[in-house]
């Protein structure tokens, strides 16, 4: 860095590097210098955090692996489920995409204490089957529990009052009528699509375990789920459960 600019400019550069999921300080001299500076210079650290905050970004981690950012709520950087699958506006699709994300994260981190581990430790890769089985087993259990209860009526369905697992099971069943083997294809496809998009975001890499495709979580993904996503969604769920009978228009804030 030959010309000296205002620290805010450098902070902006660092945040910009953080927004490139595939860039690594080890390969980019400027990125590396900025990360060093972040460690060395506490005033610079504050500037970077304030700048990111102003942009609507959480700084989750800064290390020699780079900077990991996460969007704050309603940030311009937040990718909503509606934008995740371009060309589809169906509520069911959005719901399944969201559930798939949680199922993927829970397959990578099967136990609560896994979230507490050092994110440098490479977690075992996951396959589409593993994620699908996790989701399906849960849904089948809920379906068994609900067997005694009457089936939801059409009015409930219209108003979005049927449980989320039914959407998943419906997706399975519509395929089942044609071919048992293809039964899980629809849901498998949802999960595979999610993993594939996550790969574009630098959250997974694709490798192979024998003939089967295996998805290896990256450090970036591990940091995102461990530091924020897991506990934040948990918090939302807990808040929603504590106020279950609130009017349906309530957004929970």
Q: Least distance (Å) from another protein to the CB of residue 135?
A: 8
Nearest approach in angstroms of CB 225 to another protein is 7
- For another protein, which is the closer residue by CB, 4 or 27? 27
DSSP character at residue 226: I
CA nearest to 213, candidates 129, 116, 150, 100: 129
d(CA 131, CA 137): 10
The nearer residue to another protein, 117 or 182, going by C-beta atoms, is 117
Q: Which residues contact residue 90 at a Cβ distance below 8 angstroms, ignoring those fewer than 6 apart?
A: none
Phi, psi of 217 (to 5 degrees): -65, 145
Choose between 80 and 181: whose C-beta lies nearer to another protein: 80
Least Å distance, CB 179 to another protein, is 26
Q: Shortest distance, CB of residue 178 to another protein, whole angstroms?
A: 25
For another protein, the closer of residues 160 and 182 by Cβ is: 160
Integer CA distances (angstroms), 121 to 129, 212, 217, in order: 23, 23, 11
Tokens of 252: 């929970």
C-beta of 128 vs 203, nearer to another protein: 203
Q: Which of 4, 6, 15, 1 lies closest to 50, judged by CA? A: 15
User: C-beta of 4: minimal distance to another protein in Å?
Assistant: 23
């Amino acid at each position: 860095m030959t010309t000296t600019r205002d620290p805010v400019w450098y902070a902006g550069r660092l945040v910009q590097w953080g927004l490139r999921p595939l860039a690594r300080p080890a390969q980019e001299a400027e990125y590396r210098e900025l990360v060093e500076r972040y460690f060395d210079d506490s005033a610079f650290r504050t500037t970077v955090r304030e700048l990111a905050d102003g942009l609507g970004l959480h700084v989750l981690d800064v290390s020699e692996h780079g900077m990991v950012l996460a969007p704050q709520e309603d940030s311009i950087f937040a990718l909503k489920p509606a934008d995740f699958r371009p060309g589809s506006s169906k509520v069911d699709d959005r719901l399944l995409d969201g559930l798939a994300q949680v199922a993927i994260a829970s397959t990578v981190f099967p136990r609560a204490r896994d979230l507490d581990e050092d994110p440098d430790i490479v977690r075992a890769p996951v396959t589409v089957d593993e994620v699908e089985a996790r989701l399906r087993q849960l849904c089948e259990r809920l379906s068994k529990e609900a067997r005694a209860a009457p089936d939801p009526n059409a009015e409930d369905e219209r108003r979005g009052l049927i449980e989320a697992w039914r959407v998943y099971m419906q997706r399975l069943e519509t395929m089942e009528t044609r071919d048992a083997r293809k039964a899980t294809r629809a849901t498998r496809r949802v999960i595979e699509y999610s993993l594939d998009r996550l790969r574009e975001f630098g959250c997974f890499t694709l490798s192979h375990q024998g003939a089967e495709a295996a998805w290896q979580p990256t450090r970036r993904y591990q940091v995102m789920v461990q530091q924020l996503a897991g506990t934040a969604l948990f918090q939302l769920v807990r808040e929603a459960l504590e106020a279950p009978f609130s009017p349906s228009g309530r957004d929970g804030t």
